[in-house]
Amino acid sequence: MLFIVLMASFSVVLLAGTSRLSDKSSIIPFWVSIIILALLLIDLFVKSKTSVCIKASETAQNRNILAVIFWLGLTIILIYLLGMLFAVVISSFVYFQYFIFKQIKKSVIASLSVFSFIYIIFVVLAKFNLYRGIFF
């Protein structure tokens, strides 16, 4: 729970800091913080639905922390290289697969749902020009 609170605090600070940046400079930090907050909310929702609590050993907790750090780094690299939309699909799939569902079918459905939500809200309705990455 402490990790979720820390990540949410980081995302809120990052989101607040984007107001001082120029339009082009604030795109990536804004979307990274929005995606992190959305995934944290999904994580809280799923954890509240599960009543089984398993005490993990210190090494398992350290492995989980390293996995989350790797996932966040992967997300940032994917946003830079592939752009926001492709990064959302891949990053959310990895998140759902390894941290929440652990089933490919559910992870694919959830990641495509997140992609559809972001595409419809921000590209179609709001007509935002999302960052396309250096390869596109």
User: What is residue 120's predicted lDDT score, i.e. its pLDDT?
Assistant: 94
Tokens of 26: 């604030």
Separation of alpha carbons 12 and 21, rounded Å: 15
Instruction: Write out the two tokens for 39.
Output: 């995934």
**pLDDT given for residue 99 in this prediction:** 86
Q: What is the pLDDT of residue 96?
A: 92
Q: The pTM is what?
A: 0.59
Split the chain (136 residues) into runs of 10 and give each run's mean pLDDT.
80 84 82 88 76 57 80 90 92 91 92 94 89 84
Structure tokens at 107: 């992870």
Are 95 and 70 in contact, with CB atoms under 8 Å apart? no
Q: What is the pLDDT of residue 7?
A: 84
pLDDT number for residue 52: 52
